[in-house]
Amino acid sequence: MRPPGRPKGEYRSAQHEGTRMSSGRERVLADIRRALGRDGLGLAAIPPLPGTAPRPAFEGDLVDRFAAKMIEKSATLERIASLADVGEAATRFISAYGAAHRLCVSPALADIAWPPGLTIHVGAAGRDEQTSVTPCFAAVAEAGAIVALSGPNTPSTLNFVPENHIVIVRVGQVVRHFEDAWAQWRASGLPMPRTLNVISGPSRTADIEQTIQLGAHGPRRLHILLVSA
């Protein structure tokens, strides 16, 4: 069906152009498969390349370095003893910034016991949510970063839509280098997520008069609850 208001000849021309581009893409992909000796899409897992690239060397405790690097990048961090302390810690955080006592929580954290007085919404974040609480897949000590995988229990909207983002990191999830996080994912047997997010602090930009502005394209605040056990 021709879109309303578009001349018939123009619509046919656009259709032809789209078909031509698609055909050209298929020819290029077919050439690549022939060069690789393949006759179609492979189903077998692709093994990692042999050897490792040079990695930054550093000393000291991995967890301490991760915490210090994240604080350098304008995140805030609180160390807590266990998941049982998450509710009270989250309440302290939102109270300190005057946010609504409502949390949008990842389905992966639905079993956490939340204190009275909090309204809990489990699921993806809508535009009106002020604070989200999510787990992470790994945390990287090298430069300070959180690795989050999308999925039914970890919607990516929780990482980007609310003004405040609370991330739960277990000390056992802290790895030395980024390559260690990728190796951990391959060993986990988890399918490739639709998105993999590397979070290194609150959203920021310096596009406006070269002045750092937080919260330009995502959360204004990133708060890490570092769980000892």
The per-residue pLDDT for range 74-83, each reduced to its tens digit, is 999 999 999 9
**pLDDT attached to residue 50:** 77
Maximum separation of any 2 CA atoms in the chain, in Å: 69
- pLDDT tier at 22, thresholds 50, 70, 90: confident
- The answer to whether 82 and 170 have CB atoms below 8 angstroms apart is no
pLDDT value for 119: 96
Q: Supply the pLDDT for residue 34.
A: 85
Average pLDDT, the chain: 87
Write down the pLDDT at residue 221: 94
Topology at the third CATH level for domain 62-227: Rossmann fold (3.40.50)
Question: What pLDDT, in 10s, does the model give residues 166-199?
Answer: 999 999 999 999 999 999 998 998 888 999 999 9
Report the C-alpha gap between 189 and 159 in whole angstroms: 23
Give the separation between CA 226 and CA 63, rounded to whole angstroms: 9
Count helices and strands (H / E) in the chain.
Answer: 5, 12
Please say if the pLDDT value at position 87 is more than 60.
yes
Q: What is the mean pLDDT of residues 143-152?
A: 96
Question: Residue 121 above 80 pLDDT?
Answer: yes
Instruction: Tell which wins on pLDDT, 98 or 21.
Output: 98
pLDDT digits (tens, 9 = 90+) for 203-228: 766 566 655 565 566 689 999 999 99
At residue 214, the pLDDT reads: 59
Instruction: Determine the Cα angle at 227 with ends 141 and 69, to 5°.
Output: 25
> What is the pTM (predicted TM-score) of this model?
0.76
Whether residue 39 has pLDDT greater than 90: no
